[in-house]
Amino acid sequence: MKSNPSCTRIANVTSAVTIAVNFLLSAFKFLAGILGQSSAMLSDAVHSASDVLSTFVVLIGVNLSHKKADKGHPYGHERIECIASFVLAGMLFVTTFGIGAKAVEHIALLAQGGAIPVPGGIALLAAVVSIVVKEWMFWYTRAAARKVRSGALMADAWHHRSDALSSIGSLIGVGGAMLGFPIFDPIASLLICLLLAKTAFSIAREAAGQLIDKAADEETVARIAREVCRCDGVLRIDDLKTRLYANGMYVDVEIAADGRLSLKEAHAIAEEVHQRIEHAFDGVKHCMVHVNPDF
């Protein structure tokens, strides 16, 4: 993946929009939570407020990752995005734990014969608005992440989706409480916590795979092998390795060629393999080709 200044610009604009929308949304939900006496909506408001901080993390990660390679970092800085994704996953885990703990507290209170406040209509309206806005932000951010091939930005997109799911839980809880079933609120919150935890785990797992040089999937490796075999002069593939590097991939391939060829001819075959792989697969940062003589 070649560095492109427009990628940073797109990420910056997307993050700026996210910060502005999240700030306004969290303020609205916080006000609705207070006026509507809804603890679920207050938790949702805190969740949205945490998104402002998480987007700053993404913004910093994307900008640092697109710095040009230098003497101390000859392979670039793309893995900074992996660190940003880990931070996002951690924040999501913490937020999930906080929401879950509050839900358990409410369930325990109801089990002891206690009562929790019945939310007002403004809390229900805030939940609907949050679902619509957060779902739009998910599609908007995901489109930008795919365009610039940003793992951190994609993680932020799924964070928006998790917020939409969280708001669905708030909607069910608030609606159920207003209909006379207060237990709906904490139960819905616990179910949403499971989805939030799953999202956080997926983000962390993907970032970990990029940090430990995980191989590309089998389908991609097979496609690369087929592309190599199409090159003139390649008799067979002796070895083929791939490793993910942030949002890019490195390819190392050993091919066999006629041992009677001159060094110049063998080099030409290797160069064709190199060029074909880098042009056929968007995201391949570099392809290293080694030629073995076959007699």
Pick the range with the lowest mean pLDDT from 17-26, 42-51, 119-128: 42-51
Q: Quote the percentage of the chain above a pLDDT of 90.
A: 27
Highest mean pLDDT among 34-38, 147-151, 194-198: 34-38
- 193 pLDDT band (50/70/90 cuts)? confident
Once rounded to an integer, what is the mean pLDDT over residues 180-184? Answer: 84
- The answer to whether the CB of 39 falls within 8 A of the CB of 117 is yes
CATH number at residue 255: 3.30.70.1350
Q: Quote the percentage of the chain above a pLDDT of 70.
A: 88
Look at residues 211, 236, 252 and tell me which one is the last residue of a structural domain: 211
- 66 pLDDT band (50/70/90 cuts)? low
Query: What's the pLDDT at 272?
Result: 94
Position with higher pLDDT, 43 vs 280: 280
Once rounded to an integer, what is the mean pLDDT over residues 106-131? Answer: 85
- 27 and 113 in a single domain? The answer is yes
- The answer to whether the CB of 40 falls within 8 A of the CB of 119 is yes
Q: What's the one-letter identity of residue 251?
A: V
Query: What's the pLDDT at 252?
Result: 94
Torsion, Cα 174 175 177 178, to 10 degrees, reads 110
Q: Is the pLDDT of residue 149 over 80?
A: no
Residue carrying the six token digits 């999240």: 22
Q: Is the pLDDT of residue 274 over 80?
A: yes
- The answer to whether the CB of 22 falls within 8 A of the CB of 129 is no
Look at residues 211, 229, 261 and tell me which one is the last residue of a structural domain: 211
- 121 and 205 in a single domain? The answer is yes
Structure pTM? 0.59
Q: Is the pLDDT of residue 5 over 70?
A: no
The CA angle 179-182-184, to the nearest 5 degrees, is 90
Q: Taken in order 56, 62, 67, 71, is the CA torsion positive or negative?
A: positive
Query: What's the pLDDT at 2?
Result: 44
Query: What's the pLDDT at 241?
Result: 93
CATH number at residue 164: 1.20.1510.10
- 226 and 84 in a single domain? The answer is no
Q: Could you write out the three-class secondary structure of the chain?
A: CCCCHHHHHHHHHHHHHHHHHHHHHHHHHHHHHHHCCCHHHHHHHHHHHHHHHHHHHHHHHHHHHCCCCCCCCCCCCCCHHHHHHHHHHHHHHHHHHHHHHHHHHHHHHHHCCCCCCCCCHHHHHHHHHHHHHHHHHHHHHHHHHHHHCCHHHHHHHHHHHHHHHHHHHHHHHHHHHHCCCCCHHHHHHHHHHHHHHHHHHHHHHHHHHHHCCCCCCHHHHHHHHHHHHCCCCCCEEEEEEEEEECCEEEEEEEEEEECCCCHHHHHHHHHHHHHHHHHHCCCEEEEEEEEEEEC
- 103 and 136 in a single domain? The answer is yes
- 222 and 199 in a single domain? The answer is no
Query: What's the pLDDT at 43?
Result: 72
Query: What's the pLDDT at 247?
Result: 65
Residues 76-115: tens digit of each pLDDT: 666 677 777 788 788 778 877 877 887 788 788 888 888 7
Query: What's the pLDDT at 58?
Result: 66
Q: For residue 289, what are the domain limits?
A: 218-294
- 94 and 125 in a single domain? The answer is yes
- 236 and 164 in a single domain? The answer is no
- The answer to whether the CB of 42 falls within 8 A of the CB of 33 is yes
Highest mean pLDDT among 3-7, 17-21, 75-79, 246-250: 17-21
Q: Could you write out the three-class secondary structure of 21-52?
A: HHHHHHHHHHHHHHHCCCHHHHHHHHHHHHHH
Look at residues 191, 211, 231 and tell me which one is the last residue of a structural domain: 211
HSE-CB for 238 with a 13 A CA cutoff: 11
- 284 and 181 in a single domain? The answer is no
- 146 pLDDT band (50/70/90 cuts)? confident
Once rounded to an integer, what is the mean pLDDT over residues 110-134? Answer: 86
- 240 and 140 in a single domain? The answer is no
- 133 and 167 in a single domain? The answer is yes
Residues 256-269: tens digit of each pLDDT: 999 999 999 999 99
- 228 pLDDT band (50/70/90 cuts)? very high
Domain count, the chain: 2
What span, in angstroms and rounded, lies between the C-alpha atoms of 145 and 155? 9
- 205 and 227 in a single domain? The answer is no
Query: What's the pLDDT at 1?
Result: 41
What span, in angstroms and rounded, lies between the C-alpha atoms of 211 and 135? 30
- 250 and 125 in a single domain? The answer is no
